[in-house]
């Protein structure tokens, strides 16, 4: 029983980072109805630039964190301009493939910066742990959970209490209607991209600090974990992204403990496939309309 | 031709199968991130048939392609309700499950005093049909291109037939297709199954060409590349994906001298190409115009 609770706690801690990645996917999907495959690679290149400064010039940890965030935002804007703004809205597939080839490009750029397989990642906090009753908490994981809660809170205020948030939600609802109301959809999209990249940068920094190392596989990992968590929760839903991330974390933690390392990813994909087959809309998403309803709407 | 050129050409041929498989689904409007699963499952099934059970190669390819087709139809039936990104991610989840299961599976039988069969993460060694029969690389390349030509001709015939129009109609508006009285469920499962068979033929050939397969080769990168080929080459004709493969493999081989910067150059070029040609080089419009030019020339001759 103690193991079960401890695993669940660990899962929630780790799941909070999945949730942050999933929020990035869900906002971009909401605003653009398109998917950005290079999201993970964007974060990775940002973190690589920060680590490169640390390795080459031994700058302080704070500068690494700051560089990671700014370069992630800049790379994110580059992706938005090239893969989404330049390609017309109806060409969903072209945007997706374009973001995929740019992923490969960013990954190669990162490997050029730091050609070794792994590098130590400079963490902001020293590793440590504390005990609460029978349960063990790792300091860096706990701080990640706290960070995730702060970011979700800030995002909530931004989305529901500011004019920019209102504009962003309006564009998500219907970009055409938003344009009629005088909202510059292209500008909102660019800002959303920068915002999401910033959040991705923070999430990436927190995850890499917990791992204490950075490898070229991080881009793929971040993209997939974010995508899975978003789909579990329901596309375009903010609470869904958080719930999906936590669920993914908890399921992976239990699979790792009870079944072993080979089954950790397998259980995540099994959960996703099962969810899509049985409840395609995810936990919090809208139900997919039945065909009859679609036909009726058209008539 | 030296072995290097033959190997590159054979690789182009084998990858073309998975590109055509992804293309067939793109016609019906579905984006699959998971065609690599059928390529990989068939590679294992075909390898098992020839190496573990001593079957001839044609039987191996048949076993692989059928296994891939049947599994694809089951997955297709399970994901019937899904479309768009939901379908893409479901296929991705299935493909990763298949890959991770292949990483665990260990079934070995003794053949001539040696243990042969899938060995989990170590892959599947000893698919030596080519060496046992003394088949040269050139002969095997001819087999690859023979089967590829057969697949391509069938696809071109399908595109000209009523079935081709039905598939494209499903792609542009499946609700309308259903209102026209078409059995969309049947056509969709047919398309998914056929795409699985095409990828399976490629996988079966791949297993025998390399003599060794491992689950890591069938990761999602292969599947997304397969999609990108159709989109680079063009969605207007079945030649499109082949052009995509030739551009990717050929171009990347040609710019070997800038080793290390290849993806930076190639990725940038493809991104720019997609801005100007969002449905690829040979899209429906250009194919139509090309056909008009050719038919006019034929008329003039007659």
pLDDT tens digit sequence for A288-298: 555 556 666 66
- What is the per-residue pLDDT for A296? 63
Confidence of residue A171 (pLDDT cuts 50, 70, 90): confident
Q: ipTM > 0.90?
A: no
Average of pLDDT values for A80-101?
Answer: 85
- Which of B128, B126, B153, B123 shows the shortest CA–CA distance to B57? B128
- 3-state SS, residue B158: helix
- What is the per-residue pLDDT for B112? 76
- Checking if the pLDDT of A287 tops 80, the result is no
Q: Which residues are CB-contacts of B196 (< 8 A; sequence separation ≥ 6)?
A: B21, B35, B38, B68, B69, B70, B71, B72, B73
Instruction: Say how far apart CA A225 and CA A268 lie, in whole Å.
Output: 9
Backbone angles phi, psi at A159, to 5 degrees: -75, -35
| Below-50 pLDDT ranges, chain B | none
Chain B: nearest CA to A275, how far in angstroms? 9
Provide the residue ranges of all domains of chain A, joining segments of one domain with +: 2-298
Average pLDDT, chain A: 86
Confidence of residue A285 (pLDDT cuts 50, 70, 90): low
Q: Which residues are CB-contacts of B230 (< 8 A; sequence separation ≥ 6)?
A: B19, B22, B23, B26, B240, B241, B244, B280
- What is the per-residue pLDDT for A173? 82
Interface of B with A in 199-218 (CB under 8 A): none
Confidence of residue A125 (pLDDT cuts 50, 70, 90): low
* pTM of the shown model: 0.87
Instruction: Say how far apart CA A91 and CA A88 lie, in whole Å.
Output: 6
- What is the per-residue pLDDT for A139? 79
CA distances from A248 to A13, A241, B73 (A): 11, 10, 28
- What is the per-residue pLDDT for A292? 59
Q: Which residues pair with B125 in a beta bridge?
A: B117
What is the tally of structural domains in chain B? 1
Average pLDDT, chain B: 87
Range of the domain at B192: 3-301
* Percent of chain B clearing pLDDT 90 (strictly above): 35
| Nearest chain A residue (CA) to B91 | A273
What's the pLDDT tens digit per position in B283-302? 888 888 888 888 887 777 66
Average of pLDDT values for A16-22?
Answer: 91
Instruction: Say how far apart CA A54 and CA A203 lie, in whole Å.
Output: 19
- Give the H or E element holding residue A63: helix A61-79
- Which of B218, B201, B224 shows the shortest CA–CA distance to B270? B224
- Please state which of the four CATH numbers 1.20.120, 1.10.3470, 3.40.50, 1.10.287 is assigned to the domain occupying A2-298: 1.10.3470
> Where are the strands (E) in chain B, listed by range?
109-111, 114-118, 124-125
Chain A: nearest CA to B272, how far in angstroms? 8
Interface of B with A in 1-40 (CB under 8 A): 26, 31
All residues of chain A having their beta carbon less than 8 Å from the beta carbon of residue B97 are 266, 269-270, 273
- What is the per-residue pLDDT for B190? 94
């Amino acid at each position: 029983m103690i193991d079960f609770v401890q695993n669940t706690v660990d899962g929630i801690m780790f799941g909070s980072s999945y949730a942050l990645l999933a929020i990035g996917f869900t906002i971009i999907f909401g605003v653009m109805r398109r998917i950005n495959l290079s999201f993970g690679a964007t974060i990775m290149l940002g973190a690589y630039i920060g680590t490169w400064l640390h390795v080459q010039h031994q700058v302080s940890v704070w500068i690494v964190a700051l560089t990671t965030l700014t370069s992630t935002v800049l790379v994110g804007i580059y992706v938005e301009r090239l893969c989404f703004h330049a390609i017309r809205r109806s060409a969903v597939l072209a945007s997706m493939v374009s973001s995929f080839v740019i992923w490969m490009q960013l990954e190669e750029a990162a490997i050029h910066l730091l050609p070794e397989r792994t590098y130590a990642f400079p963490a902001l906090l020293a590793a440590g742990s504390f005990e609460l009753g029978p349960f063990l908490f790792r300091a860096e994981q706990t701080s990640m959970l706290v960070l995730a809660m702060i970011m979700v809170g800030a995002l909530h205020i931004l989305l529901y209490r500011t004019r920019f948030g209102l504009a962003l939600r309006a564009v998500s609802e219907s970009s055409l209607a938003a344009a009629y109301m005088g909202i510059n959809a292209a500008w909102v999209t660019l800002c959303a991209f920068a915002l999401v990249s910033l959040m991705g940068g923070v999430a990436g920094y927190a995850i890499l600090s917990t791992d204490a190392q950075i490898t070229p596989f991080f881009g793929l990992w971040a993209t997939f974990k974010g995508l899975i968590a978003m789909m579990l929760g329901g596309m375009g839903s903010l609470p869904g992204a958080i719930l999906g991330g936590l669920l993914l974390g908890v399921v992976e933690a239990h699979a790792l403990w009870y079944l072993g390392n080979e089954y950790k990813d397998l259980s995540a994909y099994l959960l996703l496939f099962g969810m899509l087959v049985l409840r395609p809309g995810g936990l919090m998403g809208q139900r997919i309309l039945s065909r009859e309803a679609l036909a009726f709407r058209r008539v | 031709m030296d072995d290097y050129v033959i190997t590159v050409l054979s690789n182009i041929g084998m990858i073309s199968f998975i590109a055509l498989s992804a293309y067939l689904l793109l016609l019906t409007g579905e984006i699959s991130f998971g065609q690599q699963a059928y390529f990989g499952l068939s590679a294992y099934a075909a390898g098992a048939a020839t190496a573990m059970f001593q079957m001839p190669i044609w039987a191996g390819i048949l076993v692989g392609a059928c296994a891939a087709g049947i599994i694809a139809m089951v997955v297709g039936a399970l994901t019937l309700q899904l479309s768009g990104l939901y379908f893409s991610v479901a296929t991705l989840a299935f493909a990763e499950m298949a890959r991770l299961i292949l990483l665990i599976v260990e079934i070995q039988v003794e053949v001539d005093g040696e243990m042969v069969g899938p060995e989990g993460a170590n892959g599947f060694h000893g698919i030596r049909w080519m060496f046992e029969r003394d088949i040269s690389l050139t002969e095997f390349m001819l087999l690859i291109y023979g089967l590829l030509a057969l697949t391509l001709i069938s696809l071109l015939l399908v595109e000209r037939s009523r079935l081709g129009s039905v598939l494209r109609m499903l792609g542009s508006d499946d609700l309308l297709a259903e209102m026209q009285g078409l059995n969309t469920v049947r056509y969709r499962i047919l398309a998914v199954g056929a795409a699985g068979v095409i990828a399976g033929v490629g996988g079966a050939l791949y297993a025998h060409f390399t003599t060794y397969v491992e689950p890591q080769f069938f990761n999602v990168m292969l599947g997304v590349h397969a999609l990108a080929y159709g989109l680079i080459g063009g969605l207007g004709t079945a030649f499109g994906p082949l052009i995509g493969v030739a551009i990717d493999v050929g171009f990347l081989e040609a710019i070997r001298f800038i080793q290390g910067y290849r993806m930076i150059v190639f990725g940038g070029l493809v991104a720019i190409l997609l801005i100007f040609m969002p449905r690829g080089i040979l899209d429906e419009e250009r194919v139509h115009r090309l056909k008009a030019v050719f038919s006019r020339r034929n008329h003039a001759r007659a």
